[in-house]
Structure formats: structure tokens, C-alpha cells
Structure 1
Amino acid sequence: MGIILATSRSFSDGDLDLIARAAEAGHRIVRGPAHHDLLELAPLLARADAWIAGTGPVNVAHLAAAPNLKVLARYGVGTEAVDLEAAEARGIQVTNTPGANADAVADHAIGLMLAALRFIPDGDRRVRQGDWGVRRGRELGAATVGIVGFGRIGQGVAKRLGGFGPRVIAADPFLAEHRIRDLGAAPVELDELFASADVITLHAPGGQRIVDAARLDSIGPGTIIVNTARPDLVDEAAVAKALADGRLSGYAADTLDGDTAASASPLLADDLADRVIVTPHLGAQTTQAVDNMGSMSLDDVLAILAGRYPVHPVTR
């Protein structure tokens, strides 16, 4: 019997019983902490043949603690938290789940756009305090929406925007302009996008800074930024300053720098509460996305443990 360590909080928490599926294949799922603290994980890693990992870091020390590890299945698409070179050096195959949560995150991005444009969370708070005063919002269909990163999620956002009718522009250095046009957006350079868009939604990979002081200086009045991607894309101090001085109208995000340890983020200041919306990584948390990510990661784990090739390899 093989031991499969699962450190994603939501693994097998949807409609599918993935623990039973693993058992049918002769393997046992063992749970571990999502934060990947090495002191807590070391005893579990020592016995693990496979690891289904969430967003926590996976570094050379983690891998050294797992002498029997054959596969690391990233429960999600991003692999920036994984030391891929260390995994390859050990002969550990890394997989991920591309597209598994794309629809869920695209839905959430649209929801955050509407919430920011129409002041929905602030309106709810004020009504509960007896304040029925109206803040006049803006319609999504009257906006220019700029999509930064036009992969599966960015394309899903563009598709959903079609029903609202805004002008849609997109910046993606890895996609040909004709493909961007074919998929429903006008291709532009990143700096042009910031200067032109009323709503900017981030769907680029982590490991880079997209929103900084210089780009915030170029935006037009009333601009809203939505981030359902990665916190390191954004200079949070610069965003807070732009909100405070009125250059930026609103910021809506599903992630903050440090996440659960982000209580000191300048974006959570009380005086910005009417302009900032933050959700706790809800983007991928739908039953369908959880089942997709769980099934794809487990299927690749079972394939590798059985000596077969995975469907979604990141490393060879």
C-alpha cells in the first residue's frame, strides 16, 4: 500500500470521494497541514510515496525529508512555490491541474468587478448601520475592461464579459495578437492597458510585479483593479496610497501578501474599507473546481505510482 500525503485543505471535500478512489487503487490518503511547516510535515513526508500539495512552499528541505517520494502533484496550476530543480534532481515528477478551476476563478473575477463597481459590500455594511444613503455606481457594460494575462482564466473572463458588452482589451506577451482577437479581446501592450482601462483584472502568473507606483500614476480617474491571481503581482503600499489620494477608485482581491498573516496589510486599513474588497481565496472554492483539481491530481498520482505517464506533467 502506498501513502499519499494530501496537504490541500479542500482535497476530496467536494461531491467525489477521492479517498475511496485512492483506496480502491491500493493506496491510503494521509492528511497534512496546508501551511507546509516542515517540523509538522517531516514525520508524514518520511512515509509518503506521493504528495498532493496545495499552495504552501515545497523546497529542497521538504523533498529531503521524503526519501520515498515519487510524485508531487500540485493541487492547482501555479508551481512557483515548488522547487522544480530540486524535484527534478531527485527524480520526483511534478504535475499540476491546468484549467481545473478556471471557470470558478473567472466567475469570481466578474463578481468582484460588479461588487466594486456597484459598492455592494459597502452598501450592505451601511444598511446594517441604518444608513440607506445611495452611492452611485457604474455599469460594467459602459467600461473598458483590461485583462492582464490571457490564459484559460483570462479567456473565461472575456467570454463572460460578452454578456455585459464592455470593450475588452488584453495584454499577454505569450499569446499572438490574432489569437487574442479570435478569443474576444483587442490586444494591447501592458502600459497601454493601464492607461486605457476602467477595470483592470489580473490573471498573470506570479513571480513578477504588475501593479506598481509607476503604472498607478498612468491610470485614469475611477479605475478599479481586481486581483484573483497572486499577491506578488501588486505593490500593496502603492495601491493603498493610490486609493487614499483618489487616483484609484477601488481594489478587489481574492488574495493579499501573506494571506492569513496579512492583518498588517495597508489595504485593510479602516479608512479604505469603502474602497477595498477582500475575499479569503474563494476564487477556486466551488464544488466543481474542487472535484476537478482533486480528480486531476489524484489521477496523475495513481498513474505514476502504477508506472504510467501522467496526463499533466510539469517536469519529466
Structure 2
Amino acid sequence: MKRWILLKILITPRSFASISKEPIEILKSKGFELLINDTGENYSETQMMRLIKDVDGVIIGTDPLNENVLKEANKLKVISKYGVGTDNIDLDYAKNNNITVTNTPSANSRSVAELVITYIFAHSRRIIEADKKTKEKYQGKIVGNTVNGRTIGILGLGKIGKSVARMAKGLNMNVLACDINEDDQFADRYNVKYVDFVNLIKESDFISCHLPLNSKTENMISSKEFNMMKTDAILINTARSGVINENDLIEALINDKIRGAALDVFNEKLIDIINDNPKINNKIILSPHMGAHTDEAVDKMGVQSAENLIDFFENKTLNSQVV
């Protein structure tokens, strides 16, 4: 068995190996020296600049790996993303400096998709409102809607988007999808209809975002799109907050341009805005970026991110290489 006694690995995700110790044991079995984040918080850019200096590999969560940080990484050979999104990593710098980047796209897709379906039911059956009113001893009826026959539009039909599509079909929903890479075989099997972005926005009862954040997707959904949506549409975002213009979202909710939203990713200032606008409180559901965080997904992300790193050092084929 190959061992790398002198290789140092920085592990930043706070939930890494929090469910089982298998990810740590996998790395220790190879003789790596492990630097584990035990602060209970994300590392800042300044902290990352200091910690990255002499490590050979890093398992990264949402901590910053921008150019300023990576310039300090004199020995870094591989970045193993604990999760899917890589917008906190300067991929161009990594590519230009021969730093390999991997991620774990299959580890958390079901967990995120289940949260999307939870949001759909929560809005359709007005669960948040019902809970609040019932605790206030309200005894009237709260009338919701079934999801049978409703249309969900999925922006980004990757692994998570496909998992959402399969679940939605199981609920007898119509599924529309928009993606730059169309998987016709999947679409035929699950009766998914590919449409362009505008038609998806116009025709969907539920719109679920599963897009990376980049120059093309930033503020992809703003006032123009809200004006095109159905007035009873629900917007769901479990991807990256920058995909949606949150100021325009608030305006759309206040002015009843759409029925509601559910966000697992958002800027913190949004909470204060919502609290200052009681009219929209029941219209928007917020959760603390927990889509990928089920016990099962956390364990899988840990194991896969550790295995990706080991595969790199053993010169094996990387199944989830980003750069």
C-alpha cells in the first residue's frame, strides 16, 4: 500500500467526518498529516492565506480559495471540493497553475432534491402559515393545493436537477427543463420536456434553480423574469444566491407578481428585509444552506472527497474532475 508520510492535507469543512469517522480513517490510512478545522466557523481569506502555504492538498467547503489565497499555496497540487459548487474556487488560477480540482456531484443530489420537494409541499399546503396560526389557537381551515398535474421548471438538469425530475414525475407533475447540455435519453425515459429559458419561466408553477454561479447566471432571474412568471408561481433556489436578484424578488413578492419563494441560499441582509415586511413573511421560506446536509449526504461527501484526493495522489482516473 502506497503511503505519503510527508504530505500535508488541509480540511476546512466543519461537518467533515461529523457523522462517521470513515473519511478521517481513509486519509490516515495513507499516512497523510491532517490539518482539521476545529474552530466551528469558516476560515476567512486571511486565515486561508496562512494555512494554505505548505499543504499538498485541501478538502474545501465554502471557505475562500480565490487568487489571493492560491498565490500563497506554494506546494498545492489538488483541491478536493466537499460538495458540488466551485464558485469559491478560482478555477482559472488552478488550471493555469496545474492544480487539479475535483468535487462530489453524486454525494448529495438526493438530499438536495428532497428539500426541493419539501419546499413544494410546504408552499402548496401552506405549512408555515398553518403551523403559526395553529400555535396561535386558530381553529379555521387553511386551504392549499395538490401538486398533481402541476408544472415544475428545472433550471439546470445536472445530477441534482435529474433527481428532482424523477421525484416530480413520481408525484405526477409535468417537468420542463432548461440546460445548455440536453440529455435526450434521460428526457425520453422520464418524459421531461426541454424548453428555452423564457418558456420555462412563463409556463412553470414551480421554478427550481440548480445552476452554478458565473458571469452568465448571475442575476439570471430578476424583475424581467418575475414579470413573465405566473402570479401563483413559486421560485425555489438551492443552488447559489447570486442566481436571483434578491431585491427584485422582494419587490415581486410585495407586489404579488408571484405567490412565493423558498431559498436555501441567500444574502444575510435578506432576513432583515423580510422581517421589515410582514406582508411577505408567509410567502418566503428560508433555510440555512442545509440542502446537502443530511446524515447520509454528509457521510458520502466526506468519503468521496477523501477518495478523490487519494485517487489523485495514486494517479488513478478521477471520476469527478472539474479542472
TM-score by length of 1: 0.91
Report the equivalent of 1:79: 86
Match 2:281 to one of 252, 267, 273:
273
Q: What residue in structure 2 maps to residue 284 of structure 1?
A: 292
C-alpha distance in 1 between matches for 2:238 and 2:45: 28
CA contact (8 A) 1:59 1:82 kept: yes
Aligned to 1:239: 249
Gaps of 5+ in 2: none
> Which residue number in structure 2 is paired with residue 195 of structure 1?
202
1:299 aligns with 2:307: yes
Distance 1:268 1:55 in 2: 29
Q: Is the contact between residue 236 and residue 266 of structure 1 (CA under 8 Å) also seen in structure 2?
A: no
Aligned counterpart for 1:115 among listed residues 118, 122, 125: 122
Identical-residue share of aligned pairs (%)? 28
Secondary structure at the counterpart of residue 46 of structure 2: helix
- Amino acid of the structure 2 residue aligned with 1:78: G
The match for 1:155 among 155, 162, 173 is 162
Residue type of the alignment partner of 1:97:
T
Distance 1:119 1:232 in 2: 27
Q: 2:49 aligns with which of 42, 45, 59?
A: 42
Q: Classify 1:265/1:29 alpha carbon distance in 2 versus 1 (closer, same or farther; 3 Å).
A: farther
Amino acid at match of 1:310: L
State the match for 1:104 in structure 2.
Answer: 111
Contact residue 124 and residue 144 of structure 2 kept, 8 A: yes
Q: AA paired with 2:302?
A: G
RMSD: 2.1
Q: Secondary structure at the match of 2:148?
A: helix
Q: SS of 2:95's equivalent?
A: helix
**Which structure 1 residue ranges, 5 or more long, are not aligned?**
none
Equivalent pair of 2:169/2:190 in contact (CA under 8 Å): no
Q: Deviations over 1:34-86 (max 9, x none)?
A: 63313223332223221111123211221122212111111112222211121
Name the count of aligned residue pairs: 313
Number of the residue aligned with 1:65: 72
Contact 2:246 2:270 in 1 (8 A): no
Of stretches 23-32 and 246-255 in structure 1, the one that deviates more from structure 2 is: 23-32
Q: What displacement does 1:139 show?
A: 0.7
SS in 1 for 2:252: helix
1:145 paired to 2:152: yes
Give the distance between the partners of 1:268 and 1:51, measured in 2 at CA. Answer: 41
Q: Tell me: CA distance 1:266–1:109, structure 2 relative to 1, closer, same or farther (3 Å).
A: same
TM-score (norm 2): 0.90
Aligned to 2:320: 312
Matched residues in 2 for 1:166 and 1:246: separation? 24
Counterpart in the other structure of 1:14: 19
* 1:145–1:166 CA contact under 8 A, matched in 2: yes
Q: CA deviation at 1:92?
A: 1.6
3-state SS in 2 of match to 1:273: helix
Q: Distance in 1 between matches of 2:79 and 2:180?
A: 29
